[in-house]
Amino acid sequence: MVNVMFNCKGKTDEELVSLALGEADYFLCLMKRYEAKLLRYINRIANIRQEDAEDVLQDSFIKVYENLNNFDDKLKFSSWIYRIVHNQVISNFRKLKARPQQIDWDSENILNNLIADFNISREIDREYLSQKVAQVLEELDDKYQEVLILKYLEDKNYQEISDILKKPMGTIATLLSRAKQQFKKVVKDKKFNL
């Protein structure tokens, strides 16, 4: 196991997919790479207990493993695995129930994108901002929640969102534009000071 983990370093996701098809231990490297990110993603879109989120993730990983031969290398592996997790959440819970109490900003980049795109004051307190963003997200339609979460919390670009949600790029652009409008409307209606 140690050897496999060591050998995984420097290998791309796509290379690991090929290796995992021959030796299941290599699949552990892929799972390790995505475990934390995907658990956080599941929590953001499903608002379920940690144990349930882990079960969903395990089911998703098994599905990914079973379908490794169907991985299309024209896609990014991350988009493909996010798609499978997204579909698994929907099939387990029928509906996304994003109700994050507070949002952890994974990187400064994500926060900066949000501030720039929504004309939010740079001096705003981050804890206040994360609470309010979570509250606003809760108010949005599911279809708008999912694109905003992918764009601003998971830091995915249009192409990746299109591949994850299996919708054309034009549709993603439209959804994002409408999601932003709805986001701003909720901020205004709730009189949040952002």
Partner 1 sequence: MSDNNVSQDTLKKIKNKDIKPKPRWHFLLKDYVVWIFGFISLLVGSLSFSVVLYMLVNNDWDIYSQISNSLWQFILTTLPYFWLLFLLIFIGVAYYNFRHTKGGYKIAVHKLIAGSIIFSILFGSFLYKIGVAQTMDGLVIGNEYFYKKVINRRAGAWSQPDKGLLAGVLIYVEDEEHVTVKGLDGELWQVDVTEAELPLLPVEISMPLKIIGEVQGDNIFKAKAIFPMKGMRFMKDKGGPHSMLDIKRPLER
Site pattern 69..88 for partner 1 (x: CB under 8 A): xx-x-x--------------
What does the alpha-carbon distance between residue 46 and residue 53 come to, in Å, rounded to a whole number? 8
CB 91 within 8 A of CB 59: no
Question: Among candidates 21, 159, 173, 25, which has minimal Cα distance to 82?
Answer: 159
Find the shortest distance in angstroms from Cβ 102 to partner 1: 19
What angle do the packed helices 77-93 and 13-22 form, to 10 degrees? Answer: 70
Binding flags for partner 1, 134-173, as an x/- string (CB under 8 A) = ----------------------------x---xxxxxx--
CB of 171 to partner 1, least distance (A): 7
Q: Does 25 bind partner 1 (CB under 8 A)?
A: yes
Query: Is residue 5 close enough to count as binding partner 1 by CB under 8 A?
Result: no
Among 8, 16, 19, 27, binds partner 1 (CB under 8 A): 27
107 CB neighbour count, 10 Å cutoff? 9
